[in-house]
Structure 1
Amino acid sequence: MKITQISSVVFACSLLLQTIACSSPEEVAQDHLQKGKELFEKGELDKALLELKTSSQSSDKFGETYYYMALLDEKSNNFKSMRQNLIRALEIEPGLTSAKIKLGKLDILFGDLEKALEQAESALASDSNNIDAELIKASVYIRQSKKDQAAEIVNKVLKDSSDNIEALSIQAALYAEKNEIDQALGLINKALEKDPKNLPLRLFKIKLDAGLNNIDSVIKGYQELIQLYPDVNNFKLSLASIYSMTDRLGEAESLLREIVEKSSDKVDPKIALIEFLNARAKDRVVSEYESMLSSHQQQGKLLLELSKWMVASGYTEVAKKGLQQVVNLEKNNEAGLAAQVILAEIALINKQYDVVDSALRDIFSINPELIEASLLKGRLLLMQNKTDDAIEFLNKLVWNKGNPDDVYSLLGQAYLIKQDRKQAEKSFKQALEANPANLIAFSQVYGTYLQAGQKETARQYLEKALSIKQNDVLLLTNKAELDILEKKWDGAQDAVQRLALFAREKSTPIYLQANILQGKGKYAEAIDLYDKVIQQFPNHLNSLINLARSYEALKQRDRATAYLEKHHANYPDELNGVGVLSDIYMANNDFVKTKKLLTDQILRAPKAGSLYLALAKVEVIMSKKIESAKNVYLEGLEVNKGDPQLSMALAGLYEQLNDKQNAIKVYKDLLDKNPGINLAVNNLASLLVESSDLVEVKKGLELARVFKDSDNPYFQDTYAWGLIKTGSNSEGLKLLQELILKEPKLPEFRYHLGVAYINAGNKATAIGEFKQAIILSEKQKRNFSGKDEVKKILQEIENSAGN
């Protein structure tokens, strides 16, 4: 037996002698690595990958294996995998300079500038003349706004190698930074002569041409990219966007259909096509959808996704046909049940609660764990005003089902109904942890951060959502608006181009494009685009305002005035045009003209409360007496009984005139008709709390009690002051201490806190708060209610100390 085993081994070894002999694992790995490199050079990439993977499995001691796998990733634009392979290559062979250079360039792509510099410095340590490493440093310096250091490196490289493509590209970027676009384009064209397939250069050229509004060159650039990279759909989508923006709709549609034909089994290209038709040829959406239903009769999941899009886009009745087709095809499997749930959701929208109940019973009898059906039950409870039952049910659902984003999102909506914003926000954030592209949760969380001025956090949520839904109109609009707000023009331009393809309203991308031009100082071009929007939507307020501002930037206020006067003559009933025109008259100090414009418009539209508000402002300026506004407000309220804006303005005027009783009366009348106006509740409560009558103070406190957990610090202050005035000093003191941390610069809060400290026997701390209130008031050049009282208290304390 022992001899047989030896013979077997010898025999096996002899069979292998022709290929690898009886080699060690390292020798086997080296052999496969060499074959992989040769196949890579020949362009046989699939075979090369197989050899390289075999090499890595045979022995994990060759960094070069992972380097070549990274090069294969580069060919397929899989940069995440490329980066991982380069990191692994350098872990095995730290001296692999070529991997350091590739990794440094990738680090720049991923925004990790410090790591890119580390790779460049490491490469230069072993090769001080490494040009690629120097250019990595130059690229980083540009992004760090160290343009002089970048220019020094580039000039040095070009002196020795005048046609170095990367150096030319970086120098072009430096010219572009200085807005010397012609010079930048000249360098890029020179580089492209040497390397016509260089993708970053081509994209850079397109960006520069777009900045010059050279649409023909942009189109040509994308056409050339599509010829070079026919399988990259994003280039086709970008070109289709340009075609759409320039009204070449037939060419845009042809490109989209080409993508659909080459991806016949994928749903995303089909949805992109019908999204485009929905934006540009709405009358053809239904026929296109029905054609897709016919062409894919046996593909239930694809039909389900198409039908879901139709429901979400408002084609509910038409979508029923597709959903029923899915039910008939898939029966009670996953797709079939999902279609049944959507049909029941349509019944819920139509308030057919019995139909929904019946459908849920049937679905749960087949699959009692189906999350979509459970969500529908939660929505049914909310629609039936059973909010507490819905919250209880959804919390159990979260516990039982793990982390489904739609459950958290619906739970957040339920808490909003209960006016529990803290729990709502928590639920929406949990939804986004599970699915960053949950649009209901995204809108809530993104909006909250944006309103709080936390733009960087808002952007993080936005970018995560866009990575999943790159064609969503809501997300693209938010991206464009945020980029414009932060003057990130390239990002804004990319978002607007994509919007041009999918936005239902063509005016949306046109308006945003005008914003970009205005922000970049191209006011004449911006005015042309704002005019296009106004022609389609004569009452588009932001376009009217921005058009006037653009003329103002050109020092052509007279042209803005002429434009708006003509606009008013053509559209005499459009109030936004009147508002912007009156602002221009006011800017010219032409109050007589302003007053005539507004009084004439009131005769045409006596129920437009905003006109009375504007006229009151003019009356105050002309008479230099704030009481002049009173008659205008009263006249407006005669015609517009209980108008909230006019009532708030009149009550506020009474407060300014120290006519507190009339102010209280107006607020009470307003809240009788509109009980949910929090500002009116707060202002009335504040007036009552300031009363010397304890009964009135207690009424004010009861009104303010709804603000106990409010996010609004002013409302919370009213509640806290009411507590202090009615004897609940410790509770009021605690709340005010928390408020001061949030809003340390409001003298009213300091005054109220000082009184609370006095009541608590803490005179020294109270004096500090009172003095701080006076300092803040003087620094802000404004009085506050209680200022005289503070001065009196401080004087009394000073006198008592002197005695």
Structure 2
Amino acid sequence: MTVTNGGNGIKARRGRMARLLAVSALALAAACASPEEKVQRYSQEGAEFLEAGDLPKAYIQFRNALKINEEHVPSLIGLSEIAEQRKDYQAMFQMLQNIVRLDPSQIESHVKLGKLYLVGSDETAALESAENALEINADDPDARALKAAVLLKIGDNAGAVEIARGVVASDPANPEAVTVLATDKFQNGDRNGALEEINKALEVDPQIAVLQLLRIQILQTLGRNDETLEAYAGLIELFPEEPAYRRVYAGELVKRNEMELAREQFRAIVDLEPENLNAKLNVVRLANRVQGTAAAEAQLQEFIDANPDNDDLKFAMVDFLIEEDEPGRARALLDQLADGDDQDVALKAKNKISVLLLGEGDRESAIALIDEILEVDERNTDALMKRAALQIDDEEFDQAIVNLRTALDNSPDEYDAMVLMATAFEKQENFSFAQAEFAKAYESSDRQARIAQQFSRFLLRRRNTERAEEVLVDSLAAHPGHLENLRLLATIRLARQDWRGAEEVAGMIEQIETQDELAANVKSAAYFGLGDYDSVIETLTARDEVAPLESRPLSSLVTAYLRTDRLDEAQALLDRMLGADPDNYQARIMMARVHAAREDRESYEASLEEAVSRSPEQPEAYELLYRHYLGQGRVDDAAALIDRGIEAAPDNYAMRVFKADVLLNRGERQDALAIYSDLIEERPQDRIIANNFVSLSSDLRLDQDSIARALEIAKTIEDLENPFYRDTVGWAYYRAGDYDRAVEYLSLAVEEIEESAEMRYHLGAAQFASGDEDAARTNLEQALRLGGADFIFRNEVQALLDRM
């Protein structure tokens, strides 16, 4: 956040310091009492230290002054300056609130406070601060620029531009006013105009960092890549001592694969911030990418040799060795650290050793080491978390939760402990507590990508796809470019049939990984959902040129060809694929679809027979060919085909279902029921198997145990809004003697399919049993009419009518 005048910061700070010194000097001249003299002396010394850039000493002196007089405005102003330079905006905000409360005439404090409100999206308070400043001086350019920025934020672009133009007329390099003018043009699509506004200001004062950065962003959106890099280089030249700008520049260089130049920038950051561990590790990472692991290790060792007492670097070497699959060398270094005199370092090393032991499968030794750590430090957070993780594995959830609560008492922001807590609650099926812990972990981690993914996957398991999408979107806003989360977001949007949203995410993935297979698949699925078949073809054809398509995208591509009546192109693609790989099962299935579209039944059948011959264990071609034979009345051929399939893959679930269907077509219902009786034990959650088992069992097995078993299975499908399932469920309730429930489900089934003889029979039987003979007679007579002479339940229906 920028709350100073950007690159005018040096000049502006000197001006503020001069004013602060003057305020302190005037107060000192007027002071009489000894405590007041002390306050003024402390404050003046603080101002001098602040002017010299010695923030720690300045802070102490200002604090000394405030201990005597907590309402001493010059000291509060000094502390707000220190907080601003340290980027501690919360402390700065509190100081500024006190300043304007104690001395409402402090115009600069009103402006700074307003900027903080604006950054925090409190536009009402920001506008109030601007108006307070303007009441003191209606011509103050910073106050006017603040008001313009607020008006722009709330959508009053015309008002914002009018004020900003007035500011720029007298102060052409005012960063806030120029930003308002550039942003207005950018929002209206005039990117070049926005760039022109910024360039004019930078000609007056090139040292306005915020405008330099805004210029870079606009150049990026215009695709002027060379100028963007030149602008970054210029920014570094202007502010060579500012590591933050080098970090941004280095990140851009990494994106452009300019690794050696990026490494130079990270090396410069190390020189500027010798204690910055992350900067050193970035140098190591780039050495790894540019020169390989040996160079990376040598670079890290160089840093360690230069800082032999820096244990963080040694632990970084441990992590590097583990990543390079050298656990032995990592363990040797950890043993050295564990034997040192620093207890905290030793315990950290032992915690890492326990992880290595678990990775080696030596659980017993790992547990012993964790116990040893907790004997020395019973509240050691890492050890408590490891013990809890092991207890979760052992389903000792309550003990795990106790340990995790202790860990969180020690480290309230330890988000990995919260994730473990959530895992324990989820395994206990305490889902509301689990979600609360995941949410806390997500917020505590600052929406970290890894935690966001864990949270969103939990939400998906709970079928809360909307919230899962929210979590990923928020996390990607804070941590853009995380591929796994982009891929997960893409699949969620496809599942929700948000085709445009899925297409957008696929484009983001392609910007990171130009040949990403999932991105192409997501795009094609999105275009398919939108009915844009030409784009499906374009996307997947390009993908096929890189690598042969797998079954799902191949199916999408062929379908797109078929729906756009481009049969020759579809056949040419499949001929090419089968020429390269004659055993490509999916290509043969797709070829059969092309022949079907041409109404070439002979070639359709031949393609499927070839698919069956080459992959006799796969069911898809059997199903298509089976239905083809039945459609032609070739019942014996259909039965023989399924017998071949059963012989090739006797345990294949689909083949056994087809076999049951063959038996039903032959009228051999008891044998079909025997197959479904086995299948329901193997696949109790399969809805089709459940329906078919209950339907057959309710007709063929009328002993009490069988009726109870059928009803038990029927209850697994009773919430499904499908007339066939409702008929099955209703008939199971009828057999169990619950006639009211039977009539309820069977009536719903008949409402949807009025012309089903079997459903009319079932409903009539249930109505007769419940005492409603008139309704029963109507439905039973309808069943005979609809069923005709060959109706399988004709005798049962007639027997019920005879009893009326």
Q: Do both proteins adopt the same fold according to a TM-score greater than 0.5, normalized to the shorter chain?
A: yes
User: Any idea what the Cα deviations from partners look like across 1:428-474, whole Å, max 9, x if unmatched?
Assistant: 4454466557776442213455872237851686389x6xxx7xx98
User: Any idea what the Cα deviations from partners look like across 1:155-187, whole Å, max 9, x if unmatched?
Assistant: 454567666543232111111122322221121
Aligned to 1:206: 216
1:533 to 2:509 alignment:
no
Instruction: Describe how 1:18-97 pairs up with structure 2 within 5 A.
Output: 22-23=32-33, 25=35, 29=39, 33=43, 49-63=59-73, 65-97=75-107
In structure 1, what is the Cα distance between the partners aligned to 2:366 and 2:181?
Answer: 65
1:326 to 2:337 alignment:
yes
Aligned to 2:366: 356
**Residues 309 and 378 (structure 1 numbering): CA distance in 2 closer, same or farther, change over 3 Å?**
farther
Q: In the alignment, is the contact (CA less than 8 A) between 1:408 and 1:430 conserved in 2?
A: yes
**Aligned pair partner of 1:594 in 565, 570, 580:** 570
**Residues 483 and 110 (structure 1 numbering): CA distance in 2 closer, same or farther, change over 3 Å?**
farther
- Post-superposition offset of 1:97: 3.2
- Post-superposition offset of 1:91: 2.7
Instruction: Describe how 1:623-638 pairs up with structure 2 within 5 A.
Output: 623=599
**Aligned pair partner of 1:395 in 368, 388, 401:** 401
**Residues 422 and 74 (structure 1 numbering): CA distance in 2 closer, same or farther, change over 3 Å?**
closer
1:454 to 2:472 alignment:
no
2:570 alignment partner AA: T
In structure 1, what is the Cα distance between the partners aligned to 2:186 and 2:491?
Answer: 19
In structure 2, what is the Cα distance between the partners aligned to 1:68 and 1:460?
Answer: 40
Q: In the alignment, is the contact (CA less than 8 A) between 2:533 and 2:561 conserved in 1?
A: no
User: Any idea what the Cα deviations from partners look like across 1:52-98, whole Å, max 9, x if unmatched?
Assistant: 43443332334454334323333343333222211221232345333
User: Any idea what the Cα deviations from partners look like across 1:380-412, whole Å, max 9, x if unmatched?
Assistant: 566xxx6323x2431332354445544443454
Q: In the alignment, is the contact (CA less than 8 A) between 1:573 and 1:604 conserved in 2?
A: no
**Residues 169 and 638 (structure 1 numbering): CA distance in 2 closer, same or farther, change over 3 Å?**
same
Structure 1 unaligned regions, length at least 5 = 1-17, 487-510, 519-525, 733-754, 761-765, 778-782
Q: Alpha carbon RMSD of aligned pairs, Å?
A: 6.0
In structure 2, what is the Cα distance between the partners aligned to 1:419 and 1:613?
Answer: 43
- Post-superposition offset of 1:138: 2.9
Aligned to 1:250: 260
Q: In the alignment, is the contact (CA less than 8 A) between 2:680 and 2:693 conserved in 1?
A: no
In structure 2, what is the Cα distance between the partners aligned to 1:26 and 1:480?
Answer: 64
In structure 2, what is the Cα distance between the partners aligned to 1:608 and 1:670?
Answer: 32
User: Any idea what the Cα deviations from partners look like across 1:613-669, whole Å, max 9, x if unmatched?
Assistant: 6456556655599x9999978875665566588899999999999x99956959999
In structure 2, what is the Cα distance between the partners aligned to 1:677 and 1:234?
Answer: 59
- Post-superposition offset of 1:688: 4.4
In structure 2, what is the Cα distance between the partners aligned to 1:359 and 1:485?
Answer: 42
1:61 alignment partner AA: E
- Post-superposition offset of 1:373: 3.5
- Post-superposition offset of 1:355: 4.0
- Post-superposition offset of 1:201: 0.8
**Aligned pair partner of 2:686 in 681, 688, 697:** 681
In structure 1, what is the Cα distance between the partners aligned to 2:394 and 2:727?
Answer: 33
Aligned to 1:738: none
Q: In the alignment, is the contact (CA less than 8 A) between 1:52 and 1:65 conserved in 2?
A: yes
| SS in structure 1 of the partner of residue 466 of structure 2 | coil
Q: In the alignment, is the contact (CA less than 8 A) between 1:409 and 1:440 conserved in 2?
A: no
2:114 alignment partner AA: G
Q: TM-score, normalised by structure 1?
A: 0.66
Q: In the alignment, is the contact (CA less than 8 A) between 1:63 and 1:91 conserved in 2?
A: no
Shifted more, 182-191 versus 72-81: the winner is 72-81
Aligned-residue identity in percent: 18
2:402 alignment partner AA: K
Aligned to 1:693: 698
> Looking at CA atoms only, which structure, 1 or 2, has the larger radius of gyration?
2
Instruction: Describe how 1:377-416 pairs up with structure 2 within 5 A.
Output: 377-380=387-390, 387-389=394-396, 391-402=397-408, 405-413=415-423
**Residues 442 and 48 (structure 1 numbering): CA distance in 2 closer, same or farther, change over 3 Å?**
same
In structure 2, what is the Cα distance between the partners aligned to 1:253 and 1:188?
Answer: 30
In structure 2, what is the Cα distance between the partners aligned to 1:671 and 1:141?
Answer: 72
**Residues 234 and 570 (structure 1 numbering): CA distance in 2 closer, same or farther, change over 3 Å?**
closer
1:325 alignment partner AA: Q
Aligned to 2:282: 272
Q: In the alignment, is the contact (CA less than 8 A) between 1:63 and 1:93 conserved in 2?
A: yes
User: Any idea what the Cα deviations from partners look like across 1:668-701, whole Å, max 9, x if unmatched?
Assistant: 99998999989x7234335545668276886576
Q: In the alignment, is the contact (CA less than 8 A) between 1:188 and 1:205 conserved in 2?
A: yes
**Residues 662 and 165 (structure 1 numbering): CA distance in 2 closer, same or farther, change over 3 Å?**
closer
Aligned to 1:341: 351
Aligned to 1:142: 152
1:217 to 2:227 alignment:
yes
In structure 1, what is the Cα distance between the partners aligned to 2:300 and 2:619?
Answer: 46
| SS in structure 2 of the partner of residue 247 of structure 1 | coil
- Post-superposition offset of 1:271: 2.7
- Post-superposition offset of 1:305: 4.5
Instruction: Describe how 1:4-15 pairs up with structure 2 within 5 A.
Output: none
- Post-superposition offset of 1:296: 4.3
**Aligned pair partner of 2:519 in 542, 558, 567:** 542
Q: In the alignment, is the contact (CA less than 8 A) between 1:101 and 1:123 conserved in 2?
A: yes
Task: Give the number of the structure with larger relative contact order, counting CA–CA contacts within 8 Å between residues 6 or more apart.
Answer: 1
**Residues 70 and 597 (structure 1 numbering): CA distance in 2 closer, same or farther, change over 3 Å?**
same
Q: In the alignment, is the contact (CA less than 8 A) between 1:616 and 1:629 conserved in 2?
A: yes
In structure 2, what is the Cα distance between the partners aligned to 1:234 and 1:480?
Answer: 30
Q: In the alignment, is the contact (CA less than 8 A) between 1:533 and 1:543 conserved in 2?
A: no
| SS in structure 1 of the partner of residue 565 of structure 2 | coil
Q: TM-score, normalised by structure 2?
A: 0.66
Aligned to 1:189: 199
User: Any idea what the Cα deviations from partners look like across 1:742-778, whole Å, max 9, x if unmatched?
Assistant: xxxxxxxxxxxxx969759xxxxx99x999x98xx9x
Aligned to 1:171: 181
Aligned length: 686
In structure 2, what is the Cα distance between the partners aligned to 1:217 and 1:673?
Answer: 67
